Chain A
């Protein structure tokens, strides 16, 4: 196969097959290996236009490293068949589908939350570049279960704002307004799909499949349209409990929902409210999800009674789902709001703060910048950042905490993390 830049790609073997085409492993003249996606040309409505579309996406370039972006097209030929080359998936990644069929599982809770954050960050980058994905579903990304790194494939349907790829999308992931035929996929419908995927990633079931849908024997078009389009109902809708998870069938939802802190439940209730489902209003932006999920990440703590990892609420008791005992932190760090959403971290032994917390413009949720320590009768915050912190007590006394040092925490004190991002220590009564 001749590539657009004149190199030859030689097919080595077959890597996979999808609805749109076949993916082969190819070797370039340079000796490098790539994946070649070769289209079933008969399935593409306007091949030449699609070719040009891919050409333009290649030119603009990948929005974020998570996207396995087309690198080069094969030469346009008279018979109109073509494909494109992209990087080969590195090892260690499992398709998201495998997580849903329980053939893959995260190694730890942090990896699971990081996967959600990486997905959100990738779609934020995509939308920030003016693109939208249009066909977001469980089949188009892979996750590393050890560290939550994400790779997004099938990027050929990504379109600029106002363009429509003609893709129908996978049912269950498509926004209700698209199912109802009211509009074509765009950024807003991507956000619905993203919320669905986040729900499936964290909670482990489909957000709209519960007691109501179980009664439907066959998923005919009529019912499909009803469940996902005209009469959708969130399984945890706070105002209507007629579609709750069914015991023995929606096992994860029934069991996992209780694990999550109130702000995550709120975010999902907002994403799948009747307002969102029927009028496409009130959906979380990617940046909203981002703040909510960083808050989730910095709520990971160990249950003092049984040692299980839990998501610890900042300002109220959390029941450990493993030992059923209640855990309440002494207090929490309260940061300035971001995107009008609360940012808090419970003061509890072992809880981590990230670069995100040190600087209100940081989006780094991986670099640990502080760790909460506990000694009999007191809590401290160890400075793992390179910044000098300034603490002011309620009485107006000032302390400086150098990198590496531990700052004892006092009621109602304020900590300036060096970037004027100030957190207040709030006690739980």
Chain B
């Protein structure tokens, strides 16, 4: 009977966008960690799409060095499968055009032209900035435009800082929240952070409202970055399976 041949339920778009610093200062271990973590997170995003009927994760990926380039997403967001199947390790090169990257993101975060063209009941986008936080261009110009963008405001913004000399202040300016600026040089931990932020975003935005008569307090209610920060805190643990033995003594 044709009634058994069902199509997938339309999931609500959950845009996961990476801004990846590929400038020279990321050379060595930092870019290696980024490469490895991205490669490892992709299959997880694929399986999350299989398991969550109400969210449809799509990916955009921008690299910024002397040049700013959408390595995935130039013509629209793509499925995690597509990224997984054509992923190549990134190499470092040149200066840190972070401001230009912010402008490029601002341009794409739009219903008229860009990633949100077909957005319908979209969940909060998850914006990841992976960088050592040392822009070499005028990042403020790009950032100020971005901050006016409704999708940016609605998004869950997370930054991962690399290196001991990382300039956190720039990253905090991007996230607008110190609590979602995190540091790690461990691949598995980074992978977990990314996954957790995506899961949290698709969940925070999909939770019903608290029992409350405070109906119009929407500014706070939609601070998805703060919700992500709260979830990071509540989660408490991002350790890997191998560490289970340390938990045995409970």
Q: What 1/0 mask marks residues of chain A from 168 to 181 whose CB sits below 8 Å from any chain B CB?
A: 11111010001101
B86 interfacial contact with A, CB 8 Å: no
Tell me the minimal C-beta distance from A266 to chain B in angstroms.
18
Give the complex CA separation of A255 and B3 in angstroms.
8
Q: With A97-B52, A309-B1 given, is the CB distance from A172 to B209 under 8 Å?
A: no
Residues of A within 8 A of B70 (CB): none
Q: With A138-B54, A171-B208, A252-B9 given, is the CB distance from A221 to B1 under 8 Å?
A: no
Give the complex CA separation of A310 and B208 in angstroms.
37
Tell me the minimal C-beta distance from A319 to chain B in angstroms.
13
Q: What 1/0 mask marks residues of chain A from 84 to 99 whose CB sits below 8 Å from any chain B CB?
A: 0000000000010111
Residues of B within 8 A of A100 (CB): 8-9, 53
Residues of B within 8 A of A221 (CB): 209, 218, 221-222
A60 interfacial contact with B, CB 8 Å: no
Residues of B within 8 A of A205 (CB): 9-10
Query: Is the beta-carbon distance between A219 and B2 smaller than 8 angstroms?
Result: no
Of A97, A179, A308, the residue contacting B1 (CB under 8 A) is: A308
Chain B residues within 8 Å of chain A by Cβ, number: 52
Q: What 1/0 mask marks residues of chain B from 46 to 86 whose CB sits below 8 Å from any chain A CB?
A: 00011111100000000000000000000000000000000
Chain A: which residue is nearest B216 at the CB level? Answer: A222
Residues of A within 8 A of B54 (CB): 138, 172
Chain A: which residue is nearest B235 at the CB level? Answer: A40
A429 interfacial contact with B, CB 8 Å: no
Q: What 1/0 mask marks residues of chain A from 307 to 337 whose CB sits below 8 Å from any chain B CB?
A: 0111000000000011000000000000000
Give the complex CA separation of A103 and B11 in angstroms.
14
Chain A: which residue is nearest B220 at the CB level? Answer: A221
Number of A-B contacts (CB under 8 A): 156
Query: Is the beta-carbon distance between A179 and B120 smaller than 8 angstroms?
Result: no
B203 interfacial contact with A, CB 8 Å: yes
Most buried by A among B50, B111, B122, B250: B250
Q: What 1/0 mask marks residues of chain B from 210 to 250 whose CB sits below 8 Å from any chain A CB?
A: 11110100100110000000000111110001001000101
Of A169, A218, A322, the residue contacting B2 (CB under 8 A) is: A322
Query: Is the beta-carbon distance between A308 and B2 smaller than 8 angstroms?
Result: yes
B206 interfacial contact with A, CB 8 Å: yes
Query: Is the beta-carbon distance between B209 and A225 smaller than 8 angstroms?
Result: yes
A204 interfacial contact with B, CB 8 Å: yes
A30 interfacial contact with B, CB 8 Å: no
Q: Which of A155-163, A208-216, A232-240 touches B?
A: A208-216
Query: Is the beta-carbon distance between A168 and B207 smaller than 8 angstroms?
Result: yes
Q: With A109-B1, A181-B211 given, is the CB distance from A204 to B53 under 8 Å?
A: no
A251 interfacial contact with B, CB 8 Å: yes
Query: Is the beta-carbon distance between A106 and B4 smaller than 8 angstroms?
Result: yes
A143 interfacial contact with B, CB 8 Å: no
CB interface residues, A 106-147, toward B, < 8 Å = 106, 108-109, 112, 138
Query: Is the beta-carbon distance between B250 and A171 smaller than 8 angstroms?
Result: no
| Residues of B near any A CB (own CB < 8 A) | 1-12, 49-54, 111, 116, 119-124, 150-151, 154, 203, 205-213, 215, 218, 221-222, 233-237, 241, 244, 248, 250
| 20 A-B residue pairings within 8 Å (CB atoms) | A13-B241, A19-B203, A40-B234, A42-B235, A100-B8, A102-B8, A178-B211, A181-B209, A181-B210, A181-B211, A214-B121, A217-B116, A219-B12, A221-B222, A224-B208, A250-B10, A252-B6, A252-B9, A256-B3, A308-B2
